[in-house]
Amino acid sequence: MGAGLHRIRIVLVEPAGPLNIGSTARVMKNMGLRNLVLVNPHCDPLGDEARQMAVHAADVLEAARQVETLSQALKGCFRAIATTARPRDAAPAVPLESPRSALPWLLEMPSALIFGPEDRGLSNAELNYAQRFITIPSSSDYPSLNLAQAVAVCCYELYQSVQSPAAASPPPLLAPAEADLAPLDAIERYVTHLSSVLLEIGYLYPHTAPSRMQKFRQMALRSQLSSSELALLRGILRQVEWATHQKTPAELEKTD
């Protein structure tokens, strides 16, 4: 397997078609990827149709993990790229990149490449779990790609970037080394903690909290926080809780 490819998990959010899941497993094996995660699949990913399309990649299909939420799918990852066919209304300052320029960034540490459901793609809330966003250039006459086709294009670009590493573009941000970088699930716990504290002190209101917290989540993700920096931010939140409610240290630890 190519260096770095084993670190990447392909994440399909709520896939509805077993043929697409089977085709995804096949193209993953073609291109040296094996880590498939299915978020709340709406079909049988091990049924006859999926196996028929997987052909000799039944082992990838059978090893695929099924989880209930996108947050669970990203546990243990440090980087995530989401695919989308449309501009991001929630964060217009974040550019849409091409697979060729962005995907090599995933090879450096445990990472995820996220694809949305066939009928709607990823929602803004789901897109906000990623740090970077790609779109596959295609003809304006018919720009929409089938899910398995989109996976195939991205897996090919990842495989090619391993074969020709000199062509890979450097990451746009300076980041801590993998050993120091806070994983995505730790950042998600911080965002949940932050939301709770901001609601408590009246900075957020229940009806506006989801949209505001999407922006806070993206700020944290783009910052590529180290574990020590994240611990510092969590410490500030605990101190705010203590000052607000005089919680004991044991009660504060429960927020972890």
Tell me what pLDDT residue 2 has. 59
Average pLDDT on 141-168 reads: 87
Mean of pLDDT over the chain: 87
Tell me what pLDDT residue 97 has. 93
Asked if the model's pLDDT at residue 191 lies above 50, the reply is: yes
Asked if the model's pLDDT at residue 188 lies above 90, the reply is: yes
Q: How confident is the model at residue 92 (pLDDT cuts 50, 70, 90)?
A: very low
- pTM for the predicted model, two decimal places: 0.81
Domains annotated on the chain, with CATH: 5-167 (3.40.1280.10), 184-253 (1.10.8)
Tell me what pLDDT residue 251 has. 62
Task: Print the SS3 string covering the chain.
Answer: CCCCHHHEEEEEECCCCHHHHHHHHHHHHHCCCCEEEEECCCCCCCCHHHHHHHHHHHHHHHHCEEECCHHHHCCCCCEEEEECCCCCCCCCCCCEECHHHHHHHHHHCCEEEEECCCCCCCCHHHHCCCCEEECCCCCCCCCCCCHHHHHHHHHHHHHHHHHCHHHCCCCCCCCCCCCCECCHHHHHHHHHHHHHHHHHCCCCCCCCHHHHHHHHHHHHHHHCCEHHHHHHHHHHHHHHHHHHHCCCHHHHHCCC
Average pLDDT on 91-112 reads: 86
Among positive and negative, which fits the CA dihedral 34, 137, 120, 217?
positive
Tell me what pLDDT residue 94 has. 67
- 18-71 per-position pLDDT tens digit: 999 999 999 999 999 999 999 999 999 999 999 999 999 999 999 999 999 999
Percent above pLDDT 70 for the chain:
85
- 125-136 per-position pLDDT tens digit: 899 999 999 999
Average pLDDT on 185-209 reads: 92
Tell me what pLDDT residue 91 has. 46
